[in-house]
């Protein structure tokens, strides 16, 4: 095998590889000998077929396998001998080959850069500990009470409005024909809940006890019952009563509905949940600041093929958001060229941080244990009740999906390793104080990130914990922004 380097530019490498006709012929002969030991050829006993006969009959059929093996083996050897670490799969193109002649091909690739991690002891980080205020607990209890609404008779008769609960009888037909499931008696329907076919509830707003109304709707095209899909229906509805929907009273009886023995137990559970969510938010905030410092502290070239792949994934999401009318207001105001330039910079930052985190993990023997991966897999399965088996089978058959499950675990372990080496101070703040700080960050630039951040979630607001976790979570692992 002869290997000639034809290009060296940055991380790009290109080689011309020549494998002699003699080597190819030896590989063909070896394959034919393996085949001759088991193939049946009329007139010859197994293992006694002359090589000349084997060549005549099977040389062309084994040639493809031989060439593939020759290219794979020689390219791997060429990379290994030169100590090269490809960033992605090398691009191989056969430039010359004919039976009895040398095999020539080119191999183009980008290699991983040399990475020298900074001294993590020089990093200065701040961990914010967010106090759970009594007001946040009260807001959460109020939300729980609204989620567990009850009904009561109206203080005085009036017409129904959105949020009221109607007690009604109904009977529906399609072209005069009644179908199973299209009738009911004493059914309780909350107006505005969207629990009935689109358009049904809106037509009952303004009705009162004793009213009858003809409601006309159209079943969705993809309705569960094929016989009703896309068809017009008419429902004869009689309103028996209008009830007012009210939140549950926050007391010990309400606590028992939530599985606690008294209200103090519910408050303690809420405090623990909010505390966990605030802690997650504080950790993710510190992680973002850490990634900013790591991005500032490392400057090395990154493989453009990896940047292109990352950018393509980001841009695909941008286009989907744009088509769905969900593009961020700041992004919507920019030209496509400006957007592409901004997100390409983000893609390059993500790739650089991802390579750095991978390097730190490898240098320090950090890995994801099977037990940790199993826990993540179990958590993912639990998110799909009734389909746990399908989830497990999917991950077993899809290595890429399993790798995506592993990536954030690995990233968090490397981040924890770096944080342990850094100088970390701790400061207690209230949700209101943190909101103010996040507003200040949103008005300017986050230190080291080089781009504005949008503080969509603010601890202390309604449902602060869940919003905070969503905002603090990186878009993609490893090393998301």
Indicate the pLDDT class of residue 298, thresholds 50, 70 and 90. very high
Query: Which residues have CB under 8 Å from 68's CB, separation 6+?
Result: none
Helices (H) and strands (E) in the chain, counts: 13, 11
Which tens digit of pLDDT belongs to each residue from 26-53?
998 888 888 888 878 887 877 788 888 8
pLDDT at 306: 95
Q: What is the DSSP letter of 200?
A: T
Which tens digit of pLDDT belongs to each residue from 238-297?
999 999 988 888 999 889 988 899 999 999 999 999 999 888 888 989 999 999 999 999
Indicate the pLDDT class of residue 462, thresholds 50, 70 and 90. very low
pLDDT at 52: 84
For the chain, give percent helix, strand, coil, nearest 5. 50, 20, 35
Q: Is residue 345 scored above 90 in pLDDT?
A: yes
- Whether 94 and 102 have beta carbons less than 8 Å apart is answered as no
pLDDT at 43: 79
Which tens digit of pLDDT belongs to each residue from 396-421?
999 999 999 999 999 999 999 999 99
**pTM score over 0.85:** no
Is the CA virtual torsion 396, 399, 403, 405 positive or negative?
Answer: negative
Which tens digit of pLDDT belongs to each residue from 135-179?
889 999 999 998 888 889 998 999 999 999 999 999 999 998 998
Is the CA virtual torsion 153, 159, 161, 165 positive or negative?
Answer: positive
d(C-alpha 160, C-alpha 150), whole Å:
16
Region label for 175, one of left (φ > 0), alpha (ψ between -120 and 50) or beta (otherwise): left
Which tens digit of pLDDT belongs to each residue from 427-436?
998 888 877 8
At CA 167, angle to CA 162 and CA 169, rounded to 5? 120
Q: Is residue 447 scored above 50 in pLDDT?
A: no
Query: Which residues have CB under 8 Å from 255's CB, separation 6+?
Result: 261, 262, 263, 265, 266
| Residue spans of alpha helices (H) in 298-364 | 304-323, 329-332, 336-363
pLDDT at 430: 86
Calculate helix-pair angle for 336-363, 399-421, nearest 10 degrees: 70
Q: How far is CA 408 from CA 328, 354, 478, 480, in A?
A: 25, 11, 6, 10
Cα Dmax for the chain: 104
Pairing relation of β-strands 124-130 and 423-429?
Answer: parallel
pLDDT at 248: 87
Assigned token pair, 169: 């009888």
The rounded percent of the chain whose pLDDT value lies above 70 is 92
Burial letters 172-205, b for 16+ CB under 10 A, else e: beeeeeeeeebeeeeeebbbeeeebbeebbeebe
Indicate the pLDDT class of residue 455, thresholds 50, 70 and 90. very low
pLDDT at 478: 40
d(C-alpha 199, C-alpha 214), whole Å:
12
Please state the rounded mean pLDDT for residues 315-325.
92
d(C-alpha 196, C-alpha 409), whole Å:
42
**Structural domains in the chain?**
2-110 (3.30.70.1050), 120-135+260-472 (1.10.3120.10), 149-246 (3.10.50.40)
Which tens digit of pLDDT belongs to each residue from 361-397?
999 999 999 999 999 999 999 999 888 999 999 999 9
- Whether 19 and 70 have beta carbons less than 8 Å apart is answered as yes
Please state the rounded mean pLDDT for residues 342-349.
96
d(C-alpha 447, C-alpha 398), whole Å:
39
pLDDT at 446: 39
pLDDT at 465: 33
Please state the rounded mean pLDDT for residues 115-129.
95
Residue whose structure tokens are 């909101």: 435
Q: Is residue 222 scored above 70 in pLDDT?
A: yes
d(C-alpha 347, C-alpha 472), whole Å:
18
Indicate the pLDDT class of residue 444, thresholds 50, 70 and 90. low
Strands (E), 313-469: 423-429
- Whether 201 and 130 have beta carbons less than 8 Å apart is answered as no
Please state the rounded mean pLDDT for residues 297-318.
95
Closest among 429, 427, 434, 426 to 461, alpha carbons compared = 434
Please state the rounded mean pLDDT for residues 78-107.
93
């Amino acid at each position: 095998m002869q290997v000639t380097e034809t290009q060296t530019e940055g991380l790009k490498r290109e080689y011309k590889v020549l494998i002699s006709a003699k080597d190819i012929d030896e590989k063909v002969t070896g394959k034919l000998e393996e085949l001759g030991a088991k193939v049946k050829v009329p007139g010859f006993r197994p293992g006694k077929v002359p090589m000349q006969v084997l060549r005549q009959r099977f040389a062309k059929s084994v040639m493809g396998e031989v060439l593939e093996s020759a290219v794979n083996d020689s390219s791997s050897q060429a990379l290994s001998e030169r100590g090269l670490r490809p960033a992605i799969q090398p691009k191989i193109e056969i430039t010359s080959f004919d039976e009895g002649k040398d095999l020539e091909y080119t191999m183009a690739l980008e290699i991983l850069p040399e990475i020298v991690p900074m001294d993590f002891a020089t990093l200065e980080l701040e961990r914010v500990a967010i106090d759970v205020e009594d007001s946040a607990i009260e807001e959460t209890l109020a939300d729980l009470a609204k989620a567990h609404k009850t009904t009561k008779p109206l203080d005085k008769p009036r017409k129904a409005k959105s949020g009221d609960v109607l007690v009604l009888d109904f009977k529906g037909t399609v072209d005069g024909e009644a179908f199973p499931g299209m009738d009911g008696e004493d059914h309780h329907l909350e107006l505005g809940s969207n629990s009935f076919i689109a358009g049904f509830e809106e037509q009952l707003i303004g009705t009162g006890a004793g009213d009858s109304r003809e409601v006309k709707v159209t079943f969705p095209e993809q309705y569960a019952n094929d016989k009703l899909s896309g068809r017009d229906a008419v429902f004869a509805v009689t309103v028996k009563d209008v009830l007012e929907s009210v939140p549950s009273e926050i007391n010990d009886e309400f606590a028992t509905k939530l599985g606690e023995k008294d209200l103090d137990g519910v408050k303690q559970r809420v405090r623990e949940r909010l505390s966990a969510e605030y802690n997650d938010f504080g950790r993710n905030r510190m992680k973002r600041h850490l990634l900013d410092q790591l991005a500032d502290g490392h400057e090395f070239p990154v493989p453009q093929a990896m940047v292109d792949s990352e950018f393509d994934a980001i841009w695909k999401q941008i286009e989907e958001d744009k088509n769905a009318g969900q593009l961020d207001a700041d992004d919507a105001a920019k030209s496509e060229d400006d957007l592409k330039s901004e997100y390409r910079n983000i893609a390059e930052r993500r790739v650089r941080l991802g390579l750095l985190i991978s390097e730190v993990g490898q240098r320090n023997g950090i890995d994801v244990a099977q037990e940790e991966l199993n826990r993540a897999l179990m958590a993912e399965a639990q998110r799909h009740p009734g389909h746990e088996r399908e989830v497990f089978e999917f991950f077993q058959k899809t290595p890429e999906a399993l790798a995506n499950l592993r990536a954030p675990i690995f990233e968090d372990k490397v981040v924890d390793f770096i944080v342990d080496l850094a100088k970390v101070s701790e400061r207690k703040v209230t949700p209101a104080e943190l909101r103010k700080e996040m507003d200040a960050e949103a008005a300017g630039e986050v230190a080291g990130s080089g781009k504005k951040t949008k503080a969509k979630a603010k601890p202390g607001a309604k449902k602060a914990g869940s919003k905070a976790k969503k905002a603090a979570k990186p878009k993609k692992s490893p090393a998301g922004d």
